Structure 1
Amino acid sequence: MTVYLDLIWLLNLGIDFLLIIGTALLLKRKKNYVRMGAAAFFASLVVFFMFTPYVSIFMNPIVKFIYSCFIVFIAFGYIRFTFFLQNLAGFFFLTFVTGGGLFAMHYFFQTDVDLMAHLPGHGLGGSTISWAFVLIGFPLVFWFSKQQVDTFKIKKVHASEMATVKIEIEDFTFETRGLVDTGNQLKDPLTRAPVMIIEAHLLHPLLGKQQTDDMLNLDTKENHPFMHRIRLVPYKAVGQKQPYLTAFKPDQVTIYYGDEQFVTKRVLLGLYGEALSSEGEYQTIIHPQLVISQVS
């Protein structure tokens, strides 16, 4: 069997460099390409040790871990222990995810490509198919992994800002999920009461769809049974035709945020005709003032 050691080393050098660059992108680290190139070169040297009598030493998990520590140290340096530990964890995470992703692609497509770049009759240098599979599949798996990590981060932030909202209007009471949005600074210009945006359909059981739609279109009749609760708040948003937002005055709003409970009567419900979250995670946008202190 012919072994193309130079090709194996070159392939590993490229993958190691991509893993280090990927770690920097994942953790948003400053990229020093000289250090990263040196780290990738150091990482790729393990290929040569695999063909020496010392191969058993480098197959030891402890030695692999120490070797990885040196790779991360060369690539990112050492500022403090937590910084180094984050870099090491990010490097391991990306390595396992991309490696597992390549194996998953391999079995999903039922290819005969060996991920170790070995095909019978082609030696250990690999064929064009095996190289293409790794070089094309690796960036695809990395891109997919990064997109999923970013999505999880966003969901985690949203989850930490979620609250349960209980709204009371006469005998009508309902609960919904709300997102505390620091960017929402909307207030009633007359009373300075905070405005909490809610999806209009939440009031259908109380008002009915037609009356709710009339309120959204600023076409409310004077004999409307809840006319005394309706307010118009100056509001401008992209794609909105009217310069005002229809708001509704509840009797009381209770917000369960974290381990605290906030009760207020001084609040308006701004009606929004569409879904606030495309995935249905929340139906209200909570004014931050409502969870900072009791608004009486």
Structure 2
Amino acid sequence: MTIYVDLLFFDNFIMNFIILWIVDRLSGCNANPWRLAAAAAIGALYVIGSFWPTLYFLNNISFKLVLSAMMILLGFHIERWRDFLRLSAVFYMVTFLFGGVAFGILYFTNQNFMLANGGFYIHGYPVVTMIIAAVFAYIITGYCWRYMRARLDRKRLMMSAEVALDGKVVKANAMLDTGNVLHDPISNYPVVIAELSCIKELLPDALASIIQAGNEADIGAIMEALNESPCMLRFRLIPFNSIGQSNGMMVGFRPDYIKVFTPEQTIESKEIIIGICNSRLSQDDAYTMLLNPGLII
């Protein structure tokens, strides 16, 4: 196969620019297109140089790492090392995914291409193929990126909690729910929502059975269940609205205390209401309690 320098440069310039553009979109940097183009050109010139016999040392992995660092530093405005490391991780993820998608399409469409010395060369340069590869790489990378960020964000919001009532204590995995703005209408205390399963042993058996049967609105039955409980005055009904349910009622109680354990500190509060939920809060059982931001802030 005869390799033309101009096509070799153009192939790799377009590929590099697409990769850098996807990195920019995923990271939200809003980089200057001219800076991205300059970084893409540096990468393309590197490939041409790697084919030069006297510059064979450019094929060393250390030079390739230096090249990627140069492309990131040139293409994006970076102020902190943390930003550089984050962009580098996204850059390599997109590069590997884009390369895999592109080669897969070229293989199945029987396109004539060559990969040598870190360079990428397609005979005849099928632009449509590269565009399709870019679209697929962007969609797949975007989905993976959002998934990873969601997992990381949820991990940062995960905590452990301890609830006490009448001398009994239960522990549970909890997640800070920024959308939980529920407050008790009587005391105006923030409401922490807990699955019945995780606090069941704190409740009178008769009350737990009522909640499990979905009869929270049966005030008479609830009063009868609490009749002999020493903590009767701590229980109340909390009105709430949620998706698919309006004017709902939730049984709640004021505990002796709740302790929330974060990596930085332990938060303890007595001015809190525990709302009892009869359904699962997490599909993978990662947590059984939703913390109110008013407890943390």
TM-score w.r.t. the length of structure 2 is 0.74
Which whole-Å deviations, capped at 9, do the CAs of 1:38-93 have from their partners, x for residues lacking one? 3323322233323333431422445444444443344225x64x26x734x45543
d(CA) in 2 for partners of 1:90, 1:256:
28
Return the offset for 1:114: 9.9
| 3-state SS in 2 of match to 1:242 | strand
Equivalent of 1:118 in 95, 99, 114: 114
Percentage of identical aligned residues: 20
Match of 1:253 in 2: 258
Match of 1:21 in 2: 21
Return the offset for 1:2: 2.9
Match of 2:39 in 1: 39
Match of 1:48 in 2: 48
One-letter amino acid of the structure 2 residue matched with residue 247 of structure 1: G
d(CA) in 2 for partners of 1:229, 1:107:
66
- 2:243 counterpart of 1:238: yes
Match of 2:76 in 1: 76
Match of 2:177 in 1: 181
Deviates more, 1:203-212 or 1:36-45: 203-212
- 2:210 counterpart of 1:211: yes
Label 1:204 to 1:55 Cα distance change in 2 as closer, same or farther (>3 A).
Answer: same
Match of 2:118 in 1: none
Match of 1:286 in 2: 291
Match of 1:86 in 2: 83
d(CA) in 2 for partners of 1:224, 1:190:
21
d(CA) in 2 for partners of 1:269, 1:97:
43
CA RMSD of aligned residues (A): 3.8
Deviates more, 1:8-17 or 1:249-258: 249-258
d(CA) in 2 for partners of 1:272, 1:159:
22
- Mapped contact 1:19–1:91 kept (Cα < 8 A): no
Return the offset for 1:128: 8.2
What 5-or-longer segments of structure 2 have no aligned partner?
116-120
Label 1:161 to 1:129 Cα distance change in 2 as closer, same or farther (>3 A).
Answer: same
Label 1:103 to 1:51 Cα distance change in 2 as closer, same or farther (>3 A).
Answer: closer
Return the offset for 1:218: 0.9
Return the offset for 1:257: 2.5
- 2:189 counterpart of 1:193: yes
d(CA) in 1 for partners of 2:127, 2:34:
29
One-letter amino acid of the structure 2 residue matched with residue 233 of structure 1: I
Aligned length, in residue pairs: 282
- Mapped contact 1:163–1:177 kept (Cα < 8 A): yes
d(CA) in 2 for partners of 1:13, 1:107:
17
Return the offset for 1:142: 4.5
- Mapped contact 1:178–1:283 kept (Cα < 8 A): yes
d(CA) in 1 for partners of 2:271, 2:217:
23
Label 1:290 to 1:115 Cα distance change in 2 as closer, same or farther (>3 A).
Answer: farther
| 3-state SS in 2 of match to 1:269 | strand
Label 1:288 to 1:233 Cα distance change in 2 as closer, same or farther (>3 A).
Answer: same
Match of 2:93 in 1: 97
One-letter amino acid of the structure 1 residue matched with residue 218 of structure 2: D
d(CA) in 2 for partners of 1:91, 1:290:
35
- Mapped contact 1:20–1:91 kept (Cα < 8 A): no
One-letter amino acid of the structure 2 residue matched with residue 86 of structure 1: D
What 5-or-longer segments of structure 1 have no aligned partner?
none
Return the offset for 1:32: 1.8
- 2:281 counterpart of 1:276: yes
Return the offset for 1:151: 2.7
Which whole-Å deviations, capped at 9, do the CAs of 1:174-231 have from their partners, x for residues lacking one? 2111122344343222223221111234344543664114565412413123554431
One-letter amino acid of the structure 1 residue matched with residue 50 of structure 2: M
Which whole-Å deviations, capped at 9, do the CAs of 1:127-165 have from their partners, x for residues lacking one? 889984x65445434543343333333333332332212
